[in-house]
Structure 1
Amino acid sequence: MKAIKLRLALICLLCLFPSIHYANELNDLLVTADIERGSKVSISCQACHSIGKGEPAKIGPNLFGVLGREIASKKDYNYSAAFTEQKGSWDIEKLDQFIQNPSQIIPGTAMTFPGIKSKADRVAVIAWLRLQSDNPIALPPSSFKGETAPIVLTEEEDPELALLPKGKGREEVFYTCSVCHSIKLVVQQGLDRYRWEKTLEWMVEEQEMDRLDEEHQQLVLDYLSEYFGVDR
């Protein structure tokens, strides 16, 4: 009987190892997270969510102070049943798992976002979101002791990035467009700047895309008209 209990205890302990390793790895990555990259990646979030303190909800709830907040707790937002059934708060691990694959983590969610597949991008945006708060939660203990270059998105992590030629505005176009559709739809086009601008206006007016600020829009238009213009 003692041998059986010991085996069961060992099995339970071994089952915990992947979770412990995942949490430790995530904590280590957050120490060196690229906050500036997180701000860029957040373009994907801001297509449906407001971020600023006190800003009204959009298609999704406001994300200011989301880390540490109880799930489905914003009073000014009507959550789906799939969300209201969830228990607990948004910690770093849970948020990482959710933004990787929302519909898998919360089946039945009305959120159509396909998720952020790049671990580097998820860590960066979580680190950035952590700072969008009056009282940012403390980072968990990390085993990291040295210095390293920030992890960056690579084409191996998201093959669709490889479809876009390298150039100024490439990442902004990727994060702006991929939140709603495949980048393949972009690279099939050959439009002049005027037509690209009209396409963005149509997306705002008819497809509920969030309007880009002037600097962001000009950067996107510069890139699209240069690499996917009529003379491509």
Structure 2
Amino acid sequence: MLNTVRSFVPFAALAAGMAIAVRAGGPDLSLGSVLLLSGTAAAQAVSAGLPFAAGGVLAVVLGAAIGAVNGLLIVRLRFPAVWGTLAVCIAVRMINSLFPRRLPVPELAAYAEALFLPLLIGIPLAALFLLVLIPLKGRERHGLRICVSVYAAAFAALGGIYFCARTTGVIMDGGIDYEICLIFLAGGLCLGNAAGRKLLPLPAALLLAFSWCTLMNLLTLYCVSSYWQLVLQILLAAVFALAAFFSNKKKQHSMG
């Protein structure tokens, strides 16, 4: 159980970022790739001899910069949030692939343990504070939308720092697990909104992320192969995304 909670920290960061992004007007599908690239940046910095704190600051700044790009694409170039953040996701993935798959990082377990409780408690509290400040969808301002994108990516960067600290001989290449989880989170949150339920976005996102993390750990515990885990992840994300899509269509039709 403790291992499940530890592995939940990066997913909590993604859930917090997704919650404020959906509340501000649209999902952010780039958060998983931001997490990986931020972790890569932190690992590169530490392997080059910089203090871990310096690597963490670099990771957060990098994540915030990518978030600003997201916000500008959505606000200035009027990209739909899904397509704009998906384009950034692909670009960040390509950049991350340029770095070595395995980085010779010294033992960072002590840093991971030191970050464990502060991140697990601090990320939801910070996201909750931001959610109170974000106006409803119809009243959002452009500057605020860009700030939301920056904060969402910064949360993902925090998850990347923890992921870097928790792993020795870090492999930051990563599969598409985080992106699939993000689709699952976005679908669940949008499904609740389309159904007209008064869901609090942050608790709902954290509950969805913890359920996802628990299920994947149980499948690993029962020796389910990574292939079938991926198949199940894709099916779950597809079901939630399609349910949210058709529920939203039905709601728009009934309002029209």
Whether TM-score is above 0.5 comes out as no
Counting helix residues as a fraction of each chain, which structure ranks higher? 2
Q: What TM-score do the two structures reach when normalised by structure 2?
A: 0.27
Q: Which has the larger radius of gyration?
A: 1
TM-score by length of 1: 0.29
